[in-house]
Amino acid sequence: MIEDKVYAARSILVVGAHAFDAEVIAGPLAAAAAKNGAQVTFLHLSMGEQGHPCLIPEHYSAQKEDEAAKAAARLGVGMRNMKLRDAFLPNDNATALQVCDVIREMRPEVVITHWHGSWHKDHRAAAQLTQTGIFFSALPTLKRAHPAHTPQLLLFGENWEDDEGFRPEHLVDVSAGFDAWQKAVMEYELARGLSSFPYVDYYSALYRLRGCLRGTRHAQAFAAASHSWNAGSGLFAPPADRSHDT
């Protein structure tokens, strides 16, 4: 079961396009896993600094960095800020190599990122950068600072902006992380009324709704990678035991 795999992981990496995205696609899960002793890392590709109606991007970036650090502390997770330019996330090999380097350093068994069906170009880029980053990370012939590493599981989290074709294939009990998540997101001005979108209402209700279907107080939904991805991303792992084939 996916839930067992998630909570058995010693290291989990969550890649979000903008600070606050990792918090919504996997925040309650991250808090619950961290409580269990897992090392969880949020990789914010950008700070989302273009999103303030009054502050210039430089000032809002500093504010979001501070908010993200406070949110991470409340969730019990680590944080990396790649500080790429909001609205202009480069979807290229050089950036995917930076993601690869974080994957090789943190050696996560589970990686979570955006679903690719998003109206937001940065979210689509983040989904692709993560998949390419995993591909690079697994390539043993690619020499970087850290040795090759193949995560065992790639999941795509639920985000209101990434709803095109998203299917909630797996529901993970995150009840143990919900309270920490509520406190964490309130560190962001974005959650306290900066946006016209009622983030906290939406996600609190969503996690409860998913919980109703999971049979727990709260749950988060995830889409799985394709079968061919799951087979292909393990190409560089040791061969499976074929002694029972014939």
Binding site for Zn ion (CB under 5 A): 17-18, 21
**Partners of 164 in the β-ladder:** none
Taking the chain, what is the end-to-end CA distance rounded to the nearest angstrom?
Answer: 28
Q: How far is the CB of 5 from Zn ion (least distance, A)?
A: 26
User: Alpha-carbon distance 72 to 182, whole Å?
Assistant: 12
CA distance 20 to 119: 17
**237: phi then psi, degrees, rounded to nearest 5:** -80, 165
Determine the Cα–Cα distance for residues 207 and 192; give it in Å rounded to an integer.
19
> What radius of gyration do the chain's Cα atoms show?
17
Beta bridge partners of 13: 41, 111
CB of 120 to Zn ion, least distance (A): 6
Q: Judged by CB, which is closer to Zn ion: 21, or 109? A: 21
Which CB sits closer to Zn ion, 17 or 33?
17
* Between 21 and 173, CB nearer to Zn ion: 21
Q: What angle do CA 98, 104, 109 make, to 5 degrees?
A: 120
Rounded least distance, CB 21 to Zn ion, Å = 4
Per the structure block, which two tokens stand in for 134?
């995993």
Please report how close the Cβ of residue 48 comes to Zn ion at its closest, in angstroms.
6
Helix (H, G, I), strand (E, B) or coil at 124: helix
Using CB positions, name the residue nearest to Zn ion.
Answer: 18
Region for residue 127 given its phi and psi (left: phi exceeds 0; alpha: psi -120 to 50; beta: otherwise): alpha
Q: How far is the CB of 33 from Zn ion (least distance, A)?
A: 22
CB nearer to Zn ion: pick between 122 and 173: 122
CB of residue 49 vs Zn ion: minimum separation in angstroms?
Answer: 12
Type of residue found at 115? W
Beta strands of 9-98 (E only): which ranges?
A: 11-18, 39-46, 78-84
CB of 15 to Zn ion, least distance (A): 12
Nearer to Zn ion, 118 or 216 (CB): 118
From the CB of residue 54, how many other CB atoms can be counted at a distance below 10 Å? 7
